[in-house]
Amino acid sequence: MPAAKRNDLVVNFIDKMTTDIREKNPDLAVKIRNWFAVKPEGREFSEGFERLAVEIGALQMAAKDGKADLSKVQLESVIVYLVKQKFLPQARGN
């Protein structure tokens, strides 16, 4: 998927996700949005986008080694996974 299309997909999904969350937990919605939208000074990308890029890179490497099928990976699922890791650590069984 071209980078521009992927970026649009990510932005639109995060917008929808945080809009849905905002109703029950407005503070969490703001934290998630900021994690993906706010670039620290001197950085090219936000922490959330950097983490997403790392995860996508790892998936691409796994696919190269025959350990992942990218046609079965949904970008939205990766985003949800990262958000749960960052903001809902108890969801991982801790």
Residue-by-residue pLDDT tens, the chain, 94 positions: 677 888 889 999 999 999 999 999 999 999 999 999 999 999 999 999 999 999 999 999 999 999 999 999 999 999 999 999 999 877 555 4
pLDDT at position 34: 96
- For residue 19, the model assigns a pLDDT of 96
This prediction's pTM: 0.84
Q: What pLDDT is attached to residue 94? A: 46
Q: 46-68: string of b/e by CB count within 10 Å (b at 16+)? A: bebbebbeebeeebeeeeeeeee
Contact 34, 61 (CB under 8 A): no
CA–CA dist 92, 4 (Å, integer):
31
Of 61, 56, 39, the closest CA to residue 48 belongs to: 39
User: Residue 86 is which amino acid?
Assistant: K
